Amino acid sequence: MSDGEDSPLGGVTGEQQWYASVEGHARGEDEPSPPGSPKANIHVSNEYMDLDQAEIIDEKKALLEEFERKRRARMIQVSTDDTEVKMHLRELGQPICVFGEGPADRRNRLKELLARLGEDAVKRKTEDEAPKKEHPEETWYHEGPPSLKEARMYLVGYSIPRAKARLKRERLEKAVPEATRTAKKQETQNRLRSFGLLGSQNADARPISFCRFSPDGEMLATSSWSGLCKLWKVPECTEVRTLRGHCNYVDCVEFHPSATINMETSSLNLVSSGRDGTVKLWNLENEEPIAELPNMEARVSRVRFHPSGRFLGACVHDNSFRLWDLEIQEEVLFQEGHSKAVFCLAFQDDGSLAVTGGMDAFGRLWDLRMGRCIMFLTGHQNPVVAVDWSPDGYHLATGSEDNSVKIWDVRSRGCVYTIPAHTSIVSGTRYDPISGNYIATSSYDNSVHLWYHGSFQPMKSLEGHGQKVMGVDISPQGSMVVTCSFDRTFKLWGPE
């Protein structure tokens, strides 16, 4: 048999096959194998992807980028002025301080941000921002009913004696020796540092939106997105009664200033507000409301009793706040002034002043006796969602969605301190109702912080909620703090 008949290619010799492969290689095909080689009749492709090698290349690339970023961060020049560093962080939309962070850590964090975003990020951010918000140059005043004059005269007669008593008390406190005041301050700080969890309770099947202590400190009211309000015995955390009447989210529930002290349980003791514009009035005996205010036609985010108990303030999302005279059952004041929805409201203990916070990022201070806006609170970058007065009558605190709390002095008509309180929205702020020595703030970062008023040092961080904290309150005796959360629980905190 000839060589061609022995070939597996049917008549083509090995030598002929090799020459054919050489010609194929000249046309761009695989390199030929010499005759007799085991690979002479096998087609081998060099088109393949080494997955492990590709991953190693990606890791090396990421490491090089990280080294380059750190090198750029080291070379970036950042101001040593801590105030300027905070301003740049705020312009970049970052918290000006993380809890426990010092000036050096803050500068390093700014360097890391600029290394990622570019050294001119602050300048670009400033240029891209919309024109700065300004409060309206003119405040609208609506003509009130004849009963408004009577209400203002009542407020004058009510507030002046209380202001005199407060000033007398403050003069006596000022006369206390410095050593005594220092010892009292140290005692308060030690007590705040000892705060811990006293009790916890699952309060509803939906998030708990608000919580308030009763004036005697022995009862707690909570509101929920389920439309229910509940009363609880504290510190036992046992349910007393469920209040049914709302058909939508309940945003707020408040006790009358005389409830549980010298008021009949069958009288008006509680008020609650809902997102459907309803405001319902309750006593402590029935599960159904005893009365209801006319629908506000917009969300009512907060309701507050005036210290006299005669008037009820309501924050309405039609850019107004209302004042109701509960004795004559009439709305005596419809006040506009904010360019967006009014979210929160607080009355000074004297009863003469009220402060409102709005979604326009401004606060306004109102003199209820003459109906004028006497002070603008400008400085927050985002909506103001929490306000509270100090018992001294001239300090107040505002909490905002810009994660900060600002302390204002009515006497100097300005902000005296900004607390970089949290890393997310500040949902609540409350002064110690006895002496105003400390402030409790709650936030959507799942935490509550206690701050000593004056130095504004962080005394204690109360952590235990699994989700964002919706509200905070301090008992009338100043001995307990209550918080409510999106995790459907409320928690009691106090000295362990």
Contact status, residue 30 vs residue 43, Cβ threshold 8 Å: yes
Q: What is the dihedral of CA 344, 348, 352, 353, to 10 degrees?
A: -40
Task: Look up the pTM and report it.
Answer: 0.72
* CATH 2.130.10.10 domain extents, the chain: 146-495
The per-residue pLDDT string of the chain (496 residues; one tens digit each, 9 = 90 and over) reads: 444 444 444 444 555 554 555 555 544 444 445 555 554 455 555 555 555 666 777 777 777 777 776 777 666 777 777 888 888 888 887 888 877 788 888 888 888 888 777 766 766 655 555 444 444 445 556 677 889 999 999 999 999 999 999 999 999 998 999 999 999 999 999 999 999 999 999 999 999 999 999 999 999 999 999 999 999 999 999 999 999 999 999 999 999 999 999 999 999 999 999 999 999 999 999 999 999 999 999 999 999 999 999 999 999 999 999 999 999 999 999 999 899 999 999 999 999 999 999 999 999 999 999 989 999 999 999 999 999 999 999 999 999 999 999 999 999 999 999 999 999 999 999 999 998 999 999 999 999 999 999 889 999 999 999 999 999 999 999 989 999 999 999 999 999 8
**For the domain 146-495, what is the CATH code?**
2.130.10.10
